[in-house]
Amino acid sequence: MEESKILQHFEGKTILVTGSTGFLAKIFLEKILRLQPNVKKLFLLMRETPKLSVQQRFEEEVVGTELFRVLREKHGEDFKSIISSKVVPLSGDVGYENLGIADAQLRQQMWQEINIIVNSAATTKFDERYDVAFEINSLGAKHVQDFGTKCSKLDMLLHVSTAYVHGTRVGLMQEKAFCMGETLPGAKIPYLDINEEKIVIQEKLRSLQTQKLSERDITRAMKDFGIERAMLHGWPNTYVFTKAMGEMLLERLNQNCNVVIIRPTIITSTFKDPFPGWIEGLRTLDSIFVAYGKGNIKFFVGDPDSAIDLVPGDMVVNCMIAVIATHSNPINEKEGIIVYQIGSSRRNPVKYDELKWFMLRYLNNNPLIDSCGKPIKVAPPVILNTMPSFHNYISFHYLPFVQMLGLANMICCNFFESSYTSAKRRINQAMRLADLYKPYLFSQAIFDDSNTENLRMRIRGRNIDMELFNFDIKCIMWDDYLLNTHFLGIAKYVLSG
């Protein structure tokens, strides 16, 4: 398969992309439009908001972003007309049957035209409301597949999941699809009944509503309920639990259509394409970087020897494109769903201890700026390599202040109520976040990427320009990438926000 044949595969194709305002979906869209001008059509599914229509969201949150700068410069004045001739933004929601697309005529048109579906819709909050996460991450996968069964020309459904569906398991995590009803080690019950989960969510909501709670209290209760159900079945948080259920709900559509799951690890800024360092939103470790750089935290929690599994967003997209082109022909039905994991822990790991010192080195040379325009100085962080040491640190350094503030508030007839409540909330939030991030900061998992590496070797053996479709994790020099690309991208994003 030559380079032109990877791109040629998308010539004349119609593609449906869900989760179109998400990070990976935008990188995918930009690359297809830039490299394959003869793609027929791209349907982009997104939800309307109370303030923005789908078209407005598309213009502001997708093509209006810096990511499309190269494409915009390439086409100049023709940019808008080219985009409008290829891209169709759609109002819809994977949480509903028929993806929430109300126009019956449009649905029929899509069913007759679509060749490829890329399902990247997800809510990635670790502690999302259980009903919301279940609707999008679990039922959403089924609704996308059900929609795909009606597409007469469909030859590929690519489902974007996460490598962390493996939970807190230790050792080498295989590229293997889940079996329906499977639970993880540590589960308190032996079988996961997804239909039962749907029922308990409805019952929980009814119970909360009969108590006449505020929407805020219901949200808090449903977040806690998600964590409770996840841990009951062996997963550490609502996000990975509902993503695992989404995988279980997938199956081969028919003999002519392949279903492939791609599981990235922690996605970071672009490595090279369309330019280095593009990022949007703060992910797991990015939030720690910003909090440390702003002086909000002075410690790091985690196992120094734990591999923090990072992968640049453009490498994930390059892998997605290669997967779609490679699996354009039907595979052996016995093979079932194929899984590709893409990350760095197996072939080019970066240790958490290294990452912390990279952050310190960058911030010493390029400090973040406070609200007064002055550089924020950071000191070497305190290393807390166990959860008990974290709890002791909080108890010694922060709780006494909160307790004194509480006493002063009581003596002064609630004069310090606002400050006391705020301080107590920040402590509780820190403890909750530490518990949510614990599986990643103390991870003992290595993610097998044999399928992904075999795919890369197959492509490399056919004289393809690997710069254009590079997903070789071993080529990343972490000190150079983090110091000169990724952290720079985060700082730029924070400054722009």
* Residues annotated as part of the active site: 239, 243
SS (H, E, C) the chain: CCHHHHHHCCCCCEEEEECCCCHHHHHHHHHHHHHCCCCCEEEEEECCCCCCCHHHHHHHHHCCCHHHHHHHHHHHHHHHHHHHHHEEEEECCCCCHHHHCCCHHHHHHHHHHCCEEEECCCCCCCCCCHHHHHHHHHHHHHHHHHHHHCCCCCCEEEEECCHHHHCCCCEEECCCCCCCCCCCCCCCCCCCCHHHHHHHHHHHHHHHHHCCCCHHHHHHHHHHHHHHHHHHCCCCCHHHHHHHHHHHCCCCCECCEEEEEEEECEEECCCCCCCCCCCCCCCHHHHHHHHHHCCCCCEEECCCCCECCEEEHHHHHHHHHHHHHHCCCCCCHHHCCEEEEECCCCCCCCEHHHHHHHHHHHHHHCCCECCCCCECCCCCCEEECCHHHHHHHHHHHCHHHHHHHHHHHHHCCCCCHHHHHHHHHHHHHHHHHHHHHHHHHCCCEEECCHHHHHHHHHHHCCCCCCCCCCCCHHHCCHHHHHHHHHHHHHHHHHHHC
